[in-house]
Amino acid sequence: MSDAFTQFEKRRDRLERRHRAPAKGYVAQVDPDGLITISARPTRSGLNFRFIGAAAFGFLAFKALAIALIGPVTYQGRIDALAAGHGFEKLCAWIMQADPISLQIATFLLMTVG
C-alpha cells in the first residue's frame, strides 16, 4: 500500500510541476504535421549582459566625470592617498585608477564643455 501511495505522490508532483510551468509563460509551435504543441518557455539565466555592459559604461563615465571636474593631477593625488590605506582602500584605489579610456572621455568632456 505504501509503495502505491509513493507512486501516486510522484505522479501528482509531476503533474503539478507540468501544470505550473505554463504559468511562467509558454510557447505554442506548429509541427510539420500540423499538430500544435505547447511547451513551457525556456528559462533565462540570471546573467544579463546588457546590464553588465551598462554598469561598466556608467562606471567609466563616472570616473571620467570625476577626472574632468577635479583635474587629473588632483584626481591622481586623491587616488595615491587612497592607495596608502589598508586592504579595502587599496582595492578601491586600484579600481578607481585613471585608465586610458576614462582619460580620453574626460578630455572629450573638457573639450566640449570648456
- Indicate if the pLDDT at residue 102 is higher than 90: yes
Helix (H, G, I), strand (E, B) or coil at 13: helix
Segment 78-93, tens digit of pLDDT: 999 999 999 999 999 9
User: Rounded to whole angstroms, how far apart are CA atoms 61 and 82?
Assistant: 20
Say what the pLDDT of residue 114 is: 64
Say what the pLDDT of residue 29 is: 86
User: CB-side exposure of 34: number of CA atoms within 13 Å?
Assistant: 0
Segment 30-79, tens digit of pLDDT: 989 989 888 877 777 777 888 999 999 999 999 999 999 999 999 999 99
Q: Which residues contact 83 (CB under 8 A, 6 or more apart)?
A: 89, 90, 93, 94
Cell numbers standing for residue 22: 505554463
Say what the pLDDT of residue 2 is: 79
Whole-model pTM?
A: 0.59
Helix (H, G, I), strand (E, B) or coil at 41: coil
User: 31, 15, 113: which is closest to 64 by C-alpha?
Assistant: 113
